[in-house]
């Protein structure tokens, strides 16, 4: 399992705001101290405007430099544009590692799934998962000598150990070169699923991916809840599985199972996961019922699909977040 993170992503905060640096620092501390799951640690590369502008208007990028709060939940911070770009870069690096056959989790902030095509909102400035999904289905600019077809998987993958070492070097902090995806090239997949289990509906991801060819979006979330969307499926490719506040664990798990079964029917070549842990029973921002063992079960369920997979951290605001992330990662890794 590879973890993408960077100490610099903890470099902004506002007193009392739930999207706080400790979400990252406490998780890093636990993951580095545990011995059940072998981990490789890397830092994100960089990203140009091109992959971001597949998902967002130019005005969204420009607005990151305006020193005014975006809304009551989404403050402006000095350097927030750099922090948001680093999260995007980590998402694209995660995609690059997943296409190389590795399990990977982006442990970065800010999150992204509420950012719409034209607006930053809900703690989110740029939509990391949507940018990565659009990069995944964008055509390859040119064939790479490192990439080949893996049996049973459409789309590029790493063919040799030497090639895998080369891909790993893309996100080595000592390597000055941007990854091709960070420069705007595509990964060439034909069928990409985005699975969002954050307790809040990924309205921004839905807004950006609505009716996009080659991508399907599956979101299991509490409704009604912020941001008030997600009551019904929309378009040809955005499928919502709302769960009432204070629903029993069994009911929530049934919806998760339903969504995973529908995702399987889509037969994706790649799965991008918006991993939010705020459906946890003791999370302060929602009324979900899930426990650590449910996130472990969900990780296992996604692993059993036997499809290249990468996950990006979204929400999760309880003190138990590190344990919840570790449980999910163990499920994904089959530990």
Share of the chain above pLDDT 90, in %: 88
pLDDT at residue number 177? 61
Report the SS3 class of residue 146: coil
Q: Which pairing describes strands 104-106 and 2-4: parallel, antiparallel, or unpaired?
A: parallel
> Residue 158: helix, strand or coil by DSSP?
strand
CA 224 – CA 243 distance, rounded (Å): 8
Task: Tell me the C-alpha to C-alpha distance, in Å, between residue 101 and each of 10, 154, 160, 186, 269.
Answer: 29, 13, 11, 17, 12
Q: What is the DSSP letter of 10?
A: G
* Count of all residues that appear for the chain in the document: 335
* C-alpha distances in Å from residue 43, one per residue of 21, 100, 166, 173: 17, 17, 15, 6
Token readout for 66 is 């305006």
Average pLDDT over residues 235-248: 98
Question: pLDDT value at position 142?
Answer: 59
Q: What is the pLDDT of residue 244?
A: 98
Q: Which among 1, 5, 30, 14 is positioned nearest to 319, based on CA atoms?
A: 30
Q: How many angstroms from the chain centroid is the CA of residue 74?
A: 19
The predicted pLDDT at position 178 comes to 78
Interhelix angle 22-33/321-333, nearest 10 degrees: 50
Burial 274-291 (b: 16+ CB within 10 A, else e): bbbbbbbeebebbebbbb
Mean pLDDT of 215-232: 98
At 246-262, the pLDDT tens digits run: 999 999 999 999 999 99
Give domain limits for the chain: 2-333
Phi, psi dihedrals of residue 317, rounded to the nearest 5°: -125, 10
User: What are the angstrom distances between the C-alpha of 227 and each of 97, 197, 259?
Assistant: 32, 15, 20
CATH architecture of 2-333: 3-Layer(aba) Sandwich (3.40)
Nearest residue to 232 via CA among 261, 263, 201, 211: 201
Kindly indicate the confidence band of residue 141, based on its pLDDT and cuts at 50, 70 and 90: confident
The share of the chain scoring above pLDDT 70, in percent, equals 89
Evaluate the omega torsion of the peptide bond into residue 110 and state whether it is cis, within 30 degrees of 0. yes
Distance CA 104, CA 277 (A): 17
Confidence check: pLDDT of 174 > 80: no
Q: What is the mean pLDDT of residues 287-301?
A: 98
| Strand boundaries in 89-141, DSSP class E | 104-106
**pTM summary value:** 0.91
Q: Tens digit of pLDDT for each residue in 19-49? A: 999 999 999 999 999 999 999 999 999 999 9
Distance, in Å, from the CA atom of 218 to the CA atom of 200, rounded to the nearest integer, reads: 13
Does the pLDDT value for residue 169 go beyond 60? Answer: no
Predicted confidence at residue 269, as pLDDT, reads 98
> Mean per-residue pLDDT for 310-316?
98
């Amino acid at each position: 399992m590879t973890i993408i993170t960077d100490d610099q992503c903890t470099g902004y905060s506002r007193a009392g705001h739930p999207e706080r640096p400790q979400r990252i620092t406490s998780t890093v501390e636990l993951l580095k101290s545990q011995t059940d799951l072998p981990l490789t640690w890397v830092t994100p590369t960089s990203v140009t405007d091109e992959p971001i502008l597949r998902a967002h208007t130019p005005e969204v990028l420009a607005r990151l430099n305006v020193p005014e709060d975006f809304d009551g939940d989404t403050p402006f911070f000095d350097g927030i544009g750099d922090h948001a770009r680093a999260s995007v870069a980590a998402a694209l690096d995660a995609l690059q590692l997943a296409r190389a056959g590795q399990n990977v989790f982006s442990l970065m902030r800010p999150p992204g799934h509420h950012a719409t095509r034209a607006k930053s909102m809900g703690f989110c400035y740029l939509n990391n998962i949507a940018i990565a999904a659009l990069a995944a289905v964008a055509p390859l600019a040119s064939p790479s000598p490192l990439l080949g077809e893996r049996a049973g998987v459409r789309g590029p993958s790493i063919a040799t150990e030497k090639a895998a070492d080369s891909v790993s070097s893309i996100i080595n902090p000592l390597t000055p070169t941007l990854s091709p995806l960070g420069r705007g090239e595509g990964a060439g997949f034909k069928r990409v699923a985005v699975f969002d289990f954050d307790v809040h509906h990924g309205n921004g991801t839905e807004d950006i991916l609505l009716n996009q060819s080659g991508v399907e979006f599956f979101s299991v979330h509490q409704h009604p809840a912020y941001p008030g969307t997600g009551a019904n499926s929309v378009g040809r490719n955005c499928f919502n599985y709302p769960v009432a506040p204070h629903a029993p664990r069994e009911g929530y798990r049934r919806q998760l199972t339903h969504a995973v079964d529908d995702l399987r029917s889509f037969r994706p070549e790649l799965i991008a996961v918006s991993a939010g842990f705020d459906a946890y029973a003791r999370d302060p921002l929602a009324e979900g019922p899930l426990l650590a063992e449910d996130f472990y079960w969900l990780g296992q369920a996604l692993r059993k699909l036997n499809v290249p997979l990468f996950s990006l951290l979204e929400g999760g605001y309880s003190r138990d977040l590190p344990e919840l992330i570790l449980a999910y990662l163990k499920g994904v890794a089959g530990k």
